[in-house]
């Protein structure tokens, strides 16, 4: 087949496609999601420092049950359910865990993750959604997202985004952190200075059980609003029992821009219950 024949074929295919596309108006109407009959009504709560009106408070071993009505003006195609942890607050808040991998051990908690993709048809369908939360779940905040598309590829503008505030049933009490140093919450430092954080963490259970126990330092750039982890952290183990002390040394990066920062010390117990956050306002000269 010569170049002219190939070119003619492309032109004919394009022309036919153009005619068929002009045969009717494109479907630009978005499908819709309507959720009802929750077994656990979502309520308003604080998530990552911000008010969220769609929060489920649940425990490991429980279920989330709801009825979903999916509808479209022409034809439905598919819905997706996505559950994943929001431990890092997805770019906002100061509760991000530093970028380290804790060793996996027997008895460690399970970070809940679930992805369901289901094909559907027609202009309206009702689905009963039942989600089983792992019994030994890692405590913390998770995202629960329901998405919907129609046959034309339109996605629902009413995409359902919920937050799950999950507790591990074996341990629902957060640890308590006391900070002895720095003794003041307002500091002025220079680039390259070393700041030492000392204190102790206590809990009702062994801080190492569950595999998530740690204390760490993060900081918020007050100008940009971005949050960063640091390499100042201490991982708890079974030998720490229900109480342990810590000493974290942090060197102010020479490359850090001068300005105002908010440093945060946070502690997790073994199942990832979170302590009260201790904040320090730091001016870097």
**Residue 2 domain-assigned (yes or no):** no
Which residues make Cβ contacts (< 8 Å) with residue 191, sequence separation at least 6? 252, 253, 254, 255, 256, 258, 284, 285
- Write down the pTM of the prediction: 0.81
CATH code for position 279: 2.60.40.3880
Q: DSSP readout, 16-70? A: HHHHHHTTS----PPPEEEEE--SS--EEEEETTEEEEEEEEEETT-EEEEEEEE
Same domain, 67 and 160: yes
**Residue 19 domain-assigned (yes or no):** no
Choosing from 167, 185, 205, the residue where a domain stops is: 167
Q: Are 125 and 79 in contact (CB under 8 A)?
A: no
Q: Are 123 and 76 in contact (CB under 8 A)?
A: yes
pLDDT score, position 101: 60
Domain interval for residue 56: 32-167
Alpha helices in the chain (DSSP H): 3-21
**Residue 4 domain-assigned (yes or no):** no
**Residue 15 domain-assigned (yes or no):** no
pLDDT score, position 181: 96
C-alpha to C-alpha distance for 45 and 47, rounded to whole angstroms? 6
pLDDT score, position 146: 94
User: In this structure, is the dihedral angle defined by the CA atoms of residues 19, 24, 26 and 32, taken in order, positive or negative?
Assistant: negative
C-alpha to C-alpha distance for 40 and 15, rounded to whole angstroms? 55
**Residue 8 domain-assigned (yes or no):** no
Same domain, 79 and 157: yes
**Residue 10 domain-assigned (yes or no):** no
Same domain, 123 and 191: no
C-alpha 109: how far from its chain's center?
A: 17
- CB crowding 89-117: b at 16 or more within 10 Å, else e: beebbbbbbeeeeeeeeeebbeebeeeee
C-alpha to C-alpha distance for 237 and 204, rounded to whole angstroms? 15
**Residue 17 domain-assigned (yes or no):** no
What torsion, rounded to 10 degrees, do the Cα atoms 155, 129, 35, 122 define? Answer: 50
CATH code for position 75: 2.60.40.10
C-alpha to C-alpha distance for 285 and 279, rounded to whole angstroms? 19
Coil, strand, or helix at residue 152?
A: coil
Q: pLDDT by residue for the chain (285 residues), tens digit each? A: 443 443 344 333 333 344 334 556 788 899 999 999 999 989 999 888 789 999 999 999 999 999 999 999 999 999 999 999 998 775 444 455 555 666 666 679 999 999 999 999 999 999 999 999 999 999 999 999 999 999 999 999 777 889 999 999 999 999 999 999 999 999 999 999 999 999 999 999 999 999 999 999 999 999 998 888 899 999 998 889 999 999 999 999 999 999 999 999 999 999 999 999 999 999 999
- Which of 27, 20, 18 lies closest to 153, judged by CA? 27
Same domain, 180 and 110: no
C-alpha to C-alpha distance for 208 and 232, rounded to whole angstroms? 18
pLDDT score, position 217: 94
**Residue 43 domain-assigned (yes or no):** yes
The strand pair at 32-36 and 43-47 is best described as: unpaired
Same domain, 51 and 153: yes
Looking from the CA of 33 toward its CB, the CA atoms found within 13 Å total 25
C-alpha to C-alpha distance for 204 and 24, rounded to whole angstroms? 67
Same domain, 160 and 182: no
Choosing from 146, 167, 188, the residue where a domain stops is: 167
- Split into its structural domains, the chain has a count of 2
Phi, psi of 4 (to 5 degrees): -65, -40
Same domain, 109 and 73: yes
Choosing from 167, 191, 211, the residue where a domain stops is: 167
């Amino acid at each position: 087949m010569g170049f002219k024949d190939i070119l003619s074929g492309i032109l004919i295919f394009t022309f036919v496609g153009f005619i068929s596309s002009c045969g009717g108006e494109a479907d630009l109407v978005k499908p819709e999601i309507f959720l009802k009959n929750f077994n656990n009504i979502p309520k308003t709560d604080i998530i990552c420092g911000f008010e969220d009106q769609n929060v489920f408070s649940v425990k490991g071993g429980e279920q989330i049950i709801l009825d979903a009505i999916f509808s479209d003006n022409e034809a439905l195609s598919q819905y997706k359910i996505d559950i994943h942890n929001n431990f890092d607050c997805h770019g906002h808040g100061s509760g991000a865990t530093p970028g380290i991998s804790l060793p996996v051990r027997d008895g460690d908690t399970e970070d809940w993750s679930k992805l369901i993709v289901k094909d559907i048809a027609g202009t309206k369908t009702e689905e009963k959604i039942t989600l089983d939360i792992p019994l030994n779940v890692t405590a913390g905040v998770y995202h629960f997202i329901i998405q919907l598309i129609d046959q034309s590829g339109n996605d629902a503008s009413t995409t359902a985004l919920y937050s799950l505030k999950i507790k591990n049933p074996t341990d629902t009490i957060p640890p308590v952190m006391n900070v002895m140093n720095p003794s003041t919450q307002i500091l002025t430092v220079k680039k390259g200075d070393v700041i030492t954080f000392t204190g102790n963490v206590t809990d009702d259970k062994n801080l190492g059980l569950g595999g998530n126990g740690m204390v760490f330092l993060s900081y918020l750039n007050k100008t940009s609003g971005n949050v960063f982890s640091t390499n100042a952290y201490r991982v708890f183990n079974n030998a720490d029992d229900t109480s342990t002390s810590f000493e974290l040394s942090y060197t102010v990066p020479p490359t850090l821009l001068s300005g105002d920062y908010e440093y945060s010390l946070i502690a997790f117990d073994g199942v990832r219950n979170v302590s009260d956050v201790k904040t320090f306002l730091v001016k870097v000269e």
